[in-house]
A and B are shown apart, each in its own frame.
Chain A
Amino acid sequence: MLKQTPSQTVGPYFAYGLTPEQYLYDFKSLAQHDLVSSDEEHIVIRGRVFDGEGNVIPDAMLEIWDNQNNLFGRFGTGTEKDKSFVFKTKKPESIGENAPFLSVILFMRGQLIHSYTRIYFSDEVKNATDEVLSQIDNSRRETLIAQKKDNYYLFDIHMQGDSETVFFDI
């Protein structure tokens, strides 16, 4: 067996390489954050990423992956006024007794290796029967569930602390 190439941090200066259009650099972006057009049925997910002292992290990058709809999105937390990430995408469907979710990959300066989490949705009854959510302690399950607001879902990510988001070993 070959040895895996070790991970290294994405660092603070990824924007012109990985999210150039969002940050207004003159280079074509590989991936967008508006994954569907506004006249299609869509949802908006917003949130912020917080460090262990509750500071908003302005240089994180999120990727979302929806295998049902084959949609991949990417957004850096450095361009919105409140340092949110924002995605406009389709809401995936439940499969069997499992609730719909999006896969998330999270990168930032200060992370030597990326983190995986999931976004579930607060208005889904199947959250109660979902195989993955069911294996997580009640006290932490909420950290994976985006809260439905008027016209968007709120999904904040906490790297540390009492409300530390559940991260997965996949």
Chain B
Amino acid sequence: MSQLIYNPFDMEVHPPRLSPAYKSTILRAPTKPLVLLKQSLAELSGPVFGDFNLGEFDHDLTKNSIKNGEPLGERIVVHGTVFNENGQPIPHTLIEIWQANSCGRYVHKVDQHDAPLDPNFLGAGRCMTDKDGNYKFYTIKPGAYPWGNHYNAWRPNHIHFSLFGANITNRLVTQMYFPGDPLLEHDPIFLAVPPKGRDLLISKFDLGATEPDFALGYRFDFVLRGHKATPFEKI
């Protein structure tokens, strides 16, 4: 019998907890050293949503909130594979998706940005990887929007993701960006990621995934924490 030990967060690519240029971290980042916890059954397990009843259009944000017409903006299709660090694809794992509309406005009630809401676009969705770890969803390309971090601060276009993976050590919340976005070099949230990790957050334009007369394609792969198998005492 062997026990899987999951690798730690790779701090060569993850942002540090405190990153003062992103001002909200100053009062919210833990300051004391984390306590190392030996992984037990509680950490080596996690919720499984294999039987979650996905809505018919959960994977299509251009359709899942239609009230009286099509949402406005540039239709895109985003696809890729969820792997662990070992390069193994993660089948049947849930991906949650949320984003601003094409004008850079979130449906969320506290978003006060003076850009129009789109009655036909909520900006929330979900999809599940298939047996080979692949996923695909349709949406509208999100717009940039201003935020209060510093004078003339704008967030680059991005889509938020939440992934579960194999267990709670695998939990990942992140943001996917778009190639060539001039705002990236000014964004303290993106720049909090060490240089080695930044390219990993930028999707690639994918002509092969682009659907003629319909939607531009982008590819974005996720890599969750991997493991090494170590010998475990024989029972």
Q: Closest chain A residue to B155 by CB distance?
A: A11
**CB-CB contacts below 8 Å: B28-43 with A:** 28-32, 34-37, 39, 41-43
Residues of B contacting A3 in the complex (Cβ-Cβ under 8 angstroms): 10, 12-13, 85, 196-197, 200, 223
Known: A8-B174, A113-B15, A114-B171. Is A25-B35 also a contact (CB below 8 A)? Answer: no
Q: Chain B's nearest CB lies how many Å from the CB of A18?
A: 6
Q: Cβ of B72 < 8 Å from any Cβ of A?
A: no
Whether A17 and B123, one on each chain, are in contact in the complex, defined by CB atoms closer than 8 angstroms, is: yes
Contact B85 A110 (CB under 8 A): no
In the complex, identify which listed stretch (B93-101, B129-137, B209-217) lies at the interface while the others stay far away.
Answer: B93-101
Interface of B is mostly: loop
Contact A112 B25 (CB under 8 A): yes
B: contact size bracket = 35 or more
A16 to chain B, nearest CB (A): 5
Q: Which of B8, B28, B169 meets A110, CB within 8 Å?
A: B28
Residues of A in contact, count (CB < 8 Å): 64
Q: Residues of A with Cβ closer than 8 Å to B?
A: 1-18, 20, 23, 25-28, 30-31, 51-53, 55, 57, 59, 63, 65, 67, 70, 72, 78, 101, 103, 105, 107-116, 132, 135-136, 140, 159-160, 164-170
A-B contact pairs, 26 of them (CB 8 A): A1-B87, A2-B223, A4-B10, A4-B85, A5-B222, A7-B9, A9-B24, A9-B175, A10-B162, A10-B173, A13-B110, A16-B123, A17-B162, A30-B94, A52-B27, A59-B110, A70-B47, A105-B171, A108-B28, A109-B28, A112-B14, A113-B9, A159-B30, A164-B30, A167-B30, A170-B169
- Name B's A-contacting residues (CB within 8 A): 8-10, 12-17, 19, 22, 24-32, 34-37, 39, 41-43, 45-47, 49, 52, 55, 64-65, 83-87, 94, 96-98, 100, 106-111, 122-126, 160, 162, 168-169, 171-175, 189-190, 192-193, 196-198, 200-201, 221-226
